[in-house]
Amino acid sequence: MREVFQQELREVQDRLVEISTLVAVSIENATRAFNESDVSLAEAVIADDDRIDEAALALDELAINILARQQPVARDLRIVVSALRVSASLERMGDMSEHIAQLARYRFPDKVVPKSLRATFAELGTLDVAIARKLVELLTSGDVRIAEQIRNDDDRIDALHLSVFDKVLGETWKGGAVDTVDATLASRYHERFADHAVSIAKKMQYLATGDWVAPEL
Amino acid sequence: MREVFQQELREVQDRLVEISTLVAVSIENATRAFNESDVSLAEAVIADDDRIDEAALALDELAINILARQQPVARDLRIVVSALRVSASLERMGDMSEHIAQLARYRFPDKVVPKSLRATFAELGTLDVAIARKLVELLTSGDVRIAEQIRNDDDRIDALHLSVFDKVLGETWKGGAVDTVDATLASRYHERFADHAVSIAKKMQYLATGDWVAPEL
């Protein structure tokens, strides 16, 4: 029974790694579509989000099934419950990536943001891609030092997010309302993407220390 | 054992009703603070969000504890797992309400949105408050007809959300960048607030029909 359970936990972990890999590909493509106004790539990101949703759904069914059959307690129980939460966060990360791609598609053939903000959004994109890749690594290896790195990357994203508002609300801002709306939303999506990654990273850290539930909510 | 379990399920339900009541009070106050530029009310909403977070956290600990001790299966298991998800959605609804209050505080003593959008935001606020109250009713009574009403209210909110973008991106928009940013964010927060309510409503509907997990993700 114990061996079956361990095998099932590995299956849960493998699936989380799979979903996080889909999310990493999604944000990479969304960022490129956004920076380069690549409408067909944007449409691919939007279409592929269904795969992430389905994979998250399948994982949840598996986790609930394990709870029902294996009746885990203590740390084992917390691992399975945390898998449900990680899956929900990954699914939302996919949504944020899809929203970024949608902005690129709506504005096509125009660029989504004016020149003065392109470097900022390029960096936001690069950081979100890096965070997504680190998340794959973290879920694969369980190495909680990666969780710390993700939290540091998120601090930089928060600073960039604030700088977008400074720019948009500053006196030198020449953008029209479309630019202002797009910059506001795109920045928020990048920030939320990273927030969900941090929430997963915290869960992994506290799962490693045995006290994972407290800081999550 | 069975009786203890039923009693614990009632405790879970009572706590969900409690948290949803806090959320309803929060969105009522946030909406009023937003419409009337009432900075002290905005600050109260922001301070009170901690209570919602703590109540959600306590409920999650209780639900995990029930899973560990009672080892529920089948529908009982799904009820407890769904409580974890409802609690996460309520916690996010509190966050959206807090964000709306923060916008009111940032812009004080100015109004958050220009005259041309005030009626729209008043209606968004009224609808979100109505949805929050219906959610309390739904969690109290389990009457799934209320879930249907929530979904209808959400359709109207989505239409209003789109109309904000039409206005802000239209030729008659006279607002500056601050107005554009605020309208974009406030509208998004209202829309997300309602989305979380719909996600809870769907869970309750499918829990009633026995197939609740599928549509949630």
Mean pLDDT of A130-153: 96
pLDDT value for A41? 98
**What is the model's pLDDT at position B127?**
98
Whether residue A153 has pLDDT greater than 90: yes
| Paired tokens of A45 | 């990101």
Partner residue facing B169 (CB), from A77, A85, A177: A177
CA A2 to chain centre: 32
- pLDDT per position as a tens digit, B45-85: 999 999 999 999 999 999 999 999 999 999 899 999 999 99
How does DSSP assign B140-202, residue by residue? HH--HHHHHHHHHHHHHHHHHHHHHHHHHTSTT----HHHHHHHHHHHHHHHHHHHHHHHHHH
**Tokens representing residue B89 in the block:** 């959605």
Helix B74-107 × helix A74-107 angle, to 10°: 50
Q: Find the CB nearest B181 among A81, A91, A180.
A: A180
Residue A213 has its nearest CB partner, among B60, B71, B185, at B60
Count the Cβ atoms, other than its own, within 10 Å of residue B60.
21
CB contact under 8 A, B77 and A84: no
**Residue B164, burial from CB neighbour count under 10 angstroms (0-12, 13-18, 19+):** buried
B77 neighbourhood in chain A, CB within 8 Å: 64, 67-68
Is B190 in CB contact (< 8 Å) with chain A?
no
User: Would you state the torsion angle of the CA atoms of residues A122, A128, A129, A132, taken in this order, to the nearest 10 degrees?
Assistant: 180
Write out pLDDT tens, residues A81-119. 999 999 999 999 999 999 999 999 999 998 888 999 999
Q: % helix / strand / coil in chain B, to the nearest 5?
A: 85, 0, 15
Q: Is the CB of A171 inside 8 Å of chain B's CB atoms?
A: no
Tell me which chain A residue has its CA closest to the CA of residue B214.
Answer: A57
B207 CA: distance to closest CA in chain A (Å): 14
Question: Which stretch of A177-191, B21-35, B200-214 has the lowest confidence by average pLDDT?
Answer: B200-214
* Mean pLDDT on A4-15: 95
The pLDDT > 70 percentage for chain A reads 96
Q: Is B181's CB within 8 Å of A169's CB?
A: yes
Amino acid at B21: T
Its CATH architecture, for the domain A2-209, is: Up-down Bundle (1.20)
Q: Do A78 and B61 touch (CB under 8 A)?
A: no
Give the CATH H-level superfamily of domain B2-216: Phosphate transport system protein phou homolog 2; domain 2 (1.20.58.220)
Q: Where are the domains of chain B?
A: 2-216
| Residue B40 tokens, joined | 């002290």
CA-CA-CA-CA torsion sign (A79, A10, A49, A144): positive
ipTM of the complex: 0.91
Interface test with B, best of A65, A78, A173, A181 (most B CBs within 10 A): A181
Chain A nearest-CA distance from B143, in A, is 25
Residue B81 at interface with chain A, using a CB cutoff of 8 Å: yes
